[in-house]
Amino acid sequence: MDHRSRVFASVFAVPSLSHTTPTPIATPDLGYTALGQSFGSPFVANATGQHRAVKRNLAWSTATRFLSLPKSSNSGGVSFEIRQGLKTADVEEALRYLITGDGKTEDGNEESLLDWYTSEARLHFATAVRPILEHLWEKEIKLSSTWSVLEETQQILQHAQDLYMQSFNDHLIPVIQQLDGSVPTIRRSKSAISPSESANRKFRRDLHAVFAHSLPSQRLSKTLSYVLYDAGCAMFRLFIRQHEVQIGPPPEDPTAIRERMITVLDSLERVGLGGDTAQKAFAHAMDRLMDTFINSHYLKVDWYSQKSTVPHLRMWIKDGFCPFVELVLASLKSDTWRIQPTELQQWQDMALGRLGKARVETLFDFVIKWPKSMGAIQDIKEYLKLLNAKNNLTTAFRQQVARRLLHPGATTTWILNVYISIIHVFQTLEPKGVQLERVARPIRNYLKEREDTGRIIISSLLTDSNDRTKFGAGGELSYEIASEMQKPFANFNQEEDEELNWGDMNWQPAPTDASPDFKKSKVEDVIWFLLTLWDREEFINELKNILGDHLLKAADPEFEKEIRLLELIKVRLGDDKLQACEVMLRDVLDSKRINASIRASGNSPQPQGLQLPRTPDGVPKTPESYRLAKPSKAQLLPPSTPDSKPLQGPTLNAQILSSFFWPSLRDDEFRVPAEIEALQKDYESRFERIKGMRKLRWMNALGDGSVTLDFEDRTETFDKVFPWQVSVVYAFQPKPGEEWAAGKGKGKGKSNQAVTRNVQQLEEMLEMDEQLIRQALSFWVGKSVLREVSTDTYSVIENKSSAPSDSAAAAAAEELAEVQAQEQGAVRSQADVLLEKKDIYQSFIMGMLTAQGNIPVMRILMMMRMLVVGGFPFGEEEVKMLLEEMETEGKVIGMGGDVWGIKKA
């Protein structure tokens, strides 16, 4: 029987191949006996070759009947007990004849007795044992029964192997061992294998192949993998595992689990289920075990000591993981069960890579919680030493930033706060700055597109971080930026081009993974990254506008934060573009000295000829102080009585601004109270004597003041009041002929009536814009000074107790006034300036297109910046807006590709 037939018979039972019949099918031709000779016999020693077939058939029949394996019992089970007859001399003679005698196979055309017994074992396994295994493995195996299924499978295979090996070792091996010493060799090698050992190995190998092919290999591998994984979890006390949750400790002691695992592995190795298949299953189990252990023990962040967990992870790989691997490999009889140092390093790097990837997936959360997340950041820093770790970090974090940060729902203040944390985190991860430059690029581009970015940055830099009340959630001030301003800084003497600084002995080349435009500065702190968001020219223009508005509202007379900010910007951006800012700061500092000189030049508290009006009781009085930008408050005495001292008039401080260097300021025109106007004229005359006849132009819309209002039942003082608000409330003071107002019955039949004004009257009296009047009226309604008695008509609330209570309306009016006041900045917005000079800019564009023909937008912008008187402090978007408006008016037409020309009739 050839090899293909034996393979087929091992799977599909062929009864005719169980063993050969003991008698030949036909009587052999034995020839004739000579005279004097007895009748021939197959066992006669001098039998000729024609008698060998008969003799071999008889020996074959005797041996195969003796070695036949037991069949299934009547009950349907399988018997693993040998029920062989007595081993007679004929059996021994037949075994020797077929194995070592003349009956052994010589040319390969005849089947040997060892091959027959192997086929007999295969056939017995296919008919008696395999159905039991199929029944055991045909159902879905639950995780809780994996151990028992594997142990039962091993026991069945072990019994079958013992059955097959018993006859082989008892009857066949002793005969084969007779050939061990008869192999002719010149010099026997120590590694040479004897015939008996070779036959034993071959028979076991064939049995193990039958065992392995009788089981579903994939399910067997998964089951063994889970058993090893379960054993590892139990030994390392892992209660939360992959794809399942186990509550409480394992039911068995780790030592018992260890012994049980070793027993199962040794048993599987004996029945041929070890080897490469078991090692692959073990590798899969170790992969899951490493992930489970890292998720269970090392994904927790050390928020208190803020230390890295990588040293503990490396120690566990060395002292826990590797000994467990060696134990399993030794049980599987692996040739290389000793762990080499290179393998230890590879496993430590593998564990670090998985920990690092898990950390990178939640890096955005660690950035938000900086610096409490220092421990997790240190883990990622160790992870970056691995191959391709930096690319994974950059790609994953940029996706997190795009998904969770760069969207319209995030406020600019919050984006800036997160950006500052990103700077700190990535400077810790990689001081060279390459990764920071990569991940920060989309954030910087996004911040450039937001209009309030510059205002928030500079305003936060100018805010005192100790005053926490200014940093509300959702406000436009960043506490992180203000805190960075408090940190010390030094002049690093940075060169314009560090690549050409041949005297720098600490120079280092750019990192190999840096982009072509990468350039590392020596001054790379948070302030530097914030100040370099824009081009230097654009940033200086933004700084000029915001600093100007801040200087006019600053409460610090020494301007320490402003001076510090300018010095900081000089260090980082250079001082060649800060001339205007320095002049602005010098103006407010010189104004303090000028105010002192003017006060010293006049001894009287008020100018000559200024008489304050005497007002009746219960009527709002004259403002007690007023300023244009930086006031000094002076308290006004109570209403005059026969015993009171003479009244002290209001005082005024002014800030002298150099109009050429300051940005466009608000210049709303309206009438101020007469007392303030007299103070302005007196101040102007004194200033001309000190400054050599230099003229002043008063900007009444700037500054603030403090007023005290006397009512019938109360006296209230209001600070930080805008000039137009002072003028509006002053307009409610009685005019000549209105002395009856709140006059306690001294008028002509109209006593106890308050002064009433409407919006139109106030416009005529104050020559003020209606918008400012309504904002001031809303402010005083919110302060319960005025109330709206009818549409656009307001009167003074002399007595709160008798006035109808409408707290909701007052609160709404106050909130509206606050919103409107915030929009009324000292510096005019870019939109206001553009709207004011729109006609000039459009005329210039028309002239340019008429003279030069079709021109692209960038060239129009360049020409306007060079040729427009006073400069063109706008960008490409504003130019496009002007052109689109001109297009709607039919003046110009777009030619495509940002090219514009005159529209022809």
Domain ranges for the chain: 3-21+51-72+83-179+199-215, 592-602+651-690, 700-735+754-823, 830-902
Position of tokens 């005279």?
35
In angstroms, the Cα distances linking 351 to 336, 431, 446, 487 are 22, 25, 37, 39
Position of tokens 């028979």?
203
Q: Please report, as a single letter, which amino acid is at residue 190.
A: K
Q: What is the spatial distance between Cα 186 and Cα 243, in angstroms, rounded to a whole number? A: 63
Q: What is the spatial distance between Cα 424 and Cα 395, in angstroms, rounded to a whole number? A: 19
Which of these, 498, 493, 488, 495, lies nearest to 571 by C-alpha position? Answer: 493
Cα 241 to the center of its chain, rounded Å:
26
Cis ω before 42 (30° cut-off from 0): no
Q: Please report, as a single letter, which amino acid is at residue 724.
A: W
Q: What is the spatial distance between Cα 179 and Cα 187, in angstroms, rounded to a whole number? A: 17
Q: What is the spatial distance between Cα 485 and Cα 526, in angstroms, rounded to a whole number? A: 9
Cα 354 to the center of its chain, rounded Å:
16
In the beta sheet, which residues pair with residue 793? 758, 790
Q: What is the spatial distance between Cα 641 and Cα 237, in angstroms, rounded to a whole number? A: 91
Joined together, the tokens standing for residue 798 give: 């002399």
Phi first, then psi, for residue 33 (nearest 5°) are -90, 140
Cα 47 to the center of its chain, rounded Å:
93
- The interaxial angle of helices 52-67 and 89-99, nearest 10 deg, is 120
In the beta sheet, which residues pair with residue 202? none
Check residue 661 and give its pLDDT: 78
Which is it for the CA torsion 301, 307, 309, 312, positive or negative? negative
Which of these, 628, 622, 639, lies nearest to 673 by C-alpha position? Answer: 622
Three-state secondary structure call for residue 123: helix
Which of these, 281, 257, 287, 252, lies nearest to 268 by C-alpha position? Answer: 281
Q: Please report, as a single letter, which amino acid is at residue 149.
A: V
The length of the chain is: 905
Check residue 748 and give its pLDDT: 42
In the beta sheet, which residues pair with residue 855? 900
Contact between residue 471 and residue 477 where contact means Cβ atoms under 8 Å apart: yes
* DSSP states along 543-561: HHHHHHHHHHH---TT-HH
Which of these, 859, 861, 863, lies nearest to 882 by C-alpha position? Answer: 861
Tell me the pairing of strands 651-653 and 625-627: parallel
Q: Please report, as a single letter, which amino acid is at residue 110.
A: E
CB atoms within 10 A of CB 398: 17
> What is the CATH number assigned to the segment(s) 830-902?
1.10.10.10
Low-confidence residues of the chain: pLDDT under 50: 15-26, 40-48, 74-75, 186, 247-248, 490-496, 603-647, 742, 744-751
Contact between residue 48 and residue 81 where contact means Cβ atoms under 8 Å apart: no
Which of these, 547, 493, 453, lies nearest to 826 by C-alpha position? Answer: 547
Tell me the pairing of strands 715-721 and 786-790: unpaired
Joined together, the tokens standing for residue 501 give: 């600084």
In the beta sheet, which residues pair with residue 787? 795
Three-state secondary structure call for residue 611: coil
Contact between residue 717 and residue 707 where contact means Cβ atoms under 8 Å apart: yes
Three-state SS string over 177-199 comes to HHHCCCCCCCCCCCCCCCHHHHH
Joined together, the tokens standing for residue 72 give: 């299934």
Q: What is the spatial distance between Cα 186 and Cα 270, in angstroms, rounded to a whole number? A: 36
CB atoms within 10 A of CB 388: 8
The model carries a pTM of 0.68
Check residue 45 and give its pLDDT: 47
CB atoms within 10 A of CB 800: 12
In angstroms, the Cα distances linking 641 to 616, 645, 647, 738 are 12, 8, 10, 22
Joined together, the tokens standing for residue 301 give: 């962040």
In the beta sheet, which residues pair with residue 725? none
CATH 1.10.150.120 is held by the domain 700-735+754-823? no
Q: What is the spatial distance between Cα 585 and Cα 578, in angstroms, rounded to a whole number? A: 11
Contact between residue 262 and residue 329 where contact means Cβ atoms under 8 Å apart: no
Summarised one tens digit per residue, pLDDT across range 459-477 is: 888 777 777 777 776 677 8
Contact between residue 434 and residue 511 where contact means Cβ atoms under 8 Å apart: yes
Contact between residue 567 and residue 575 where contact means Cβ atoms under 8 Å apart: no
Q: What is the spatial distance between Cα 62 and Cα 20, in angstroms, rounded to a whole number? A: 10
Do 830-902 and 700-735+754-823 fall under one CATH topology?
yes
682 Rama class: left (phi>0) / alpha (psi -120 to 50) / beta: alpha
Contact between residue 703 and residue 618 where contact means Cβ atoms under 8 Å apart: no
Contact between residue 282 and residue 230 where contact means Cβ atoms under 8 Å apart: no
Position of tokens 């899969």?
284
Where do the DSSP E strands lie in 87-225?
none
CB atoms within 10 A of CB 444: 16
Which is it for the CA torsion 330, 335, 338, 342, positive or negative? negative
Check residue 614 and give its pLDDT: 39
Joined together, the tokens standing for residue 673 give: 């109270």
Contact between residue 171 and residue 90 where contact means Cβ atoms under 8 Å apart: no
